[in-house]
Amino acid sequence: MLLTVINPNTTESMTATIGRAAAAVVSPGTTVRAVTPATGPASIESHYDEALAVPGLLAEIAAGEEAGSDGYVIACFGDPGLDAARELARGPVVGIAEAAMRTASYLGRGFSVVTTLGRTVGRAQDLAEHYGAARFCRGVRACAIPVLELEDPASGARERITEECRRAVAEDGSDAIVLGCAGMADLCAHISAAVGVPVVDGVAAATRTVESLVALGLRTGDRGEFARPPAKPYTGLLRHFRLGVADRC
């Protein structure tokens, strides 16, 4: 089985972290292909960033189809381009926010999301509502840490995130923590040991979810909303995304 894990931002070192987290949880015989788009923002911290990340992400879906990928993970907690990717891919596509929230809902009465910047809190709350997980979500907390600082040992990000998770358990009464950024994927075990509750990394949760769907022979239904996009011309910078290029093969 071949799974493509897409980091929608263009920071290669973060893709490497994401790839390691995904590869650590797959079964023998499953290969993880972690990829970075050729175009897009260095990090995704706004609606603007998210919108401009989608074309590069969809290009990687198209490349994955050519490479014979069986399924896909979108490794950004905003789940950018998820619905569009599901229109294009033959196999299942899962975003890390959806997978993490659904996984955390199995682990107790409620969970808290701990994310990076305060401006992303509303997006996480919207996704919890969209995925039917709002009744489990007891809080969304930000650490005021820019995404790229997660990779800087001098930033103190690890300690600040751990402390916010500890406050979430104490103040929100949560039974589990969801890490609200793919760049936090390597902190899961450390934080869980420190705060004493299960900590869910969306990269690992989404990877195992996709692997399970493929093993069950399941894929996104292609009738109605998720049918193949209608043929039409695209112009300018998007001319290469016309039907037949970024489409199911």
Distance CA 121, CA 198 (A): 21
At residue 22, the 3 state secondary structure works out as helix
Max distance between CA atoms of the chain, in angstroms, equals: 54
pLDDT recorded at residue 232? 86
Report all structural domains of the chain as residue ranges with CATH numbers, in order of start: 2-95+205-241 (3.40.50.12500), 98-202 (3.40.50.12500)
Distance CA 132, CA 217 (A): 25
Could you read off the pLDDT of 25-42 as tens digits, one per residue?
999 999 999 999 999 999
Angstrom distances, CA of residue 202 to CA of 6, 227, 242? 13, 27, 31
Any residues with CB less than 8 A from the CB of 5 and at least 6 apart, and which? 18, 19, 22, 32, 33, 34, 35, 72, 73, 75, 203, 207
* Strands 199-201, 176-179: pairing kind: parallel
**What residues pair up with 111 in beta bridges, in sequence order?**
137, 176
Any residues with CB less than 8 A from the CB of 18 and at least 6 apart, and which? 5, 7, 34, 75, 182, 183, 185, 203
C-beta separation of 162 from 190 below 8 A: yes
Distance CA 90, CA 88 (A): 7
* Tens-level pLDDT at each residue, the chain (249 residues): 999 999 999 999 999 999 999 999 999 999 999 999 999 999 999 999 999 999 999 999 999 999 999 999 999 999 999 999 999 999 999 999 999 999 999 999 999 999 999 999 999 999 999 999 999 999 999 999 999 999 998 999 999 999 999 999 999 999 999 999 999 999 999 999 999 999 999 999 999 999 999 999 999 998 899 998 988 888 998 888 876 444 433
In 36-155, beta strands by DSSP E: 71-74, 93-95, 111-115, 137-142
DSSP annotation of 49 reads H
Instruction: Tell me the one-letter amino acid at 97.
Output: A
Distance CA 173, CA 98 (A): 21
Which of 176, 163, 170 has its CA nearest to residue 137? 176
Q: Would you tell me how many other CB atoms lie within 10 Å of the CB of residue 33?
A: 18
